[in-house]
């Protein structure tokens, strides 16, 4: 079970964690004021809507191991650290995913698995998920950089 609340600019996540019998509150804190006046920079990364959706297959990870079946989806927008995934499957917030780009054979490598964490579900479309890209191998990074280029 998970609940999200945005209060005074602070994101609160109430979730059940393994081994704990009650809901745990997780807060996103961007800085401290007062005499310290220290804040993390605002996330101003611009998501680039792709000219063409990029099909992906992915699995949900439990720890470092893939569990369940291989699922299909598509990346519809990208930034340097984030991607928006369209998937007909329901995904839990904070799930870890292992993705493989389903692209042209000449661009594909065995090394392009991308690891990501589900950080948001769209309020408008339940099939859209925002992913934080947690690990991108160099060849996959080059492919994603090329996909983000206009034209």
Q: What is the CATH number of domain 48-148?
A: 2.40.10.220
pLDDT at 130: 93
CATH 2.40.10.220 segments of the chain: 48-148
When comparing pLDDT for 65 and 123, which is higher? 123
pLDDT at 6: 46
pLDDT at 36: 80
- pTM (predicted TM-score): 0.72
Q: CA quadruple 22, 6, 62, 88: dihedral positive or negative?
A: positive
Average pLDDT estimate for 101-106 = 72
Assess whether pLDDT exceeds 50 at residue 90. yes
pLDDT at 114: 93
Assess whether pLDDT exceeds 70 at residue 109. no
- In percent, how much of the chain has pLDDT > 70? 76
pLDDT at 112: 65
Give, as one character, the DSSP assignment of residue 145: H
Assess whether pLDDT exceeds 60 at residue 92. yes
Assess whether pLDDT exceeds 60 at residue 101. yes
pLDDT at 16: 67
């Amino acid at each position: 079970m998970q609940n999200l609340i945005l209060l005074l600019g602070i994101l609160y996540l109430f979730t059940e964690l393994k081994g704990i019998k009650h809901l745990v509150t997780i807060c996103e804190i961007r800085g401290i004021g007062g005499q310290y006046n220290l804040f993390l920079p605002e996330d101003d990364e611009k998501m680039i809507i792709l000219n063409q959706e990029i099909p992906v297959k992915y699995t949900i990870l439990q720890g470092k191991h893939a569990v369940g079946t291989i699922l299909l989806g598509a990346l519809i927008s990208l930034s340097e650290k984030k991607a928006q995934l369209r998937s007909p499957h329901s995904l839990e917030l904070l799930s870890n995913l292992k993705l493989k780009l389903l692209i042209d054979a000449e661009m594909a490598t065995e090394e392009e698995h991308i690891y990501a964490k589900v950080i948001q579900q769209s309020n408008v479309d339940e099939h859209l998920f925002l992913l934080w890209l947690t690990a991108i191998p160099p060849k996959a990074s080059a492919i994603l950089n090329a996909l983000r280029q206009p034209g």
